[in-house]
Amino acid sequence: VESVSQPSNVTTFTQPSTPAPTSFQSAVQTVENVSNVSERISEQFLEKWLPKFVYFDNYSLMRGKISINELRQRTENGGPFDDADRTFLALLTLSGVSL
């Protein structure tokens, strides 16, 4: 029979042992640090799906249909642009999209 060493103090036997947190517990603690779970969900997931709104006040009417291929070809050739083309190109620039 092995001998049991004497505890260094009484709390060794009176305090329950706490296991190391699991990954689930860590995730819950991370969520608890956020004031609102729905806020975190909207920040991480929903904002990616929100439409982008662009405002510009100096524009002409655009055509109902625009051929991207033709506009790209005219852009490469330095071809003529009418007001509708310039408006569409300005919209693309403000949106961060290139031909």
Q: What is the pLDDT of residue 72?
A: 94
Q: Which distant-in-sequence residues (6+ apart) come within 8 Å of 68 by Cβ?
A: 99
Can you give the pLDDT at residue 26? 67
Q: What share of the chain is helix, strand, coil (3-state, %, to 5)?
A: 50, 0, 50
Prediction pTM value: 0.49
Mean pLDDT by groups of 10 residues along the chain of 99 residues: 54 57 65 68 82 81 91 91 91 87
**Which pLDDT belongs to residue 46?**
83
Residue ranges per domain, the chain? 20-50, 51-99
Give residue 39's pLDDT: 80
Q: Which candidate, 85, 87, 82, 40, places its Cα nearest to that of 59?
A: 87
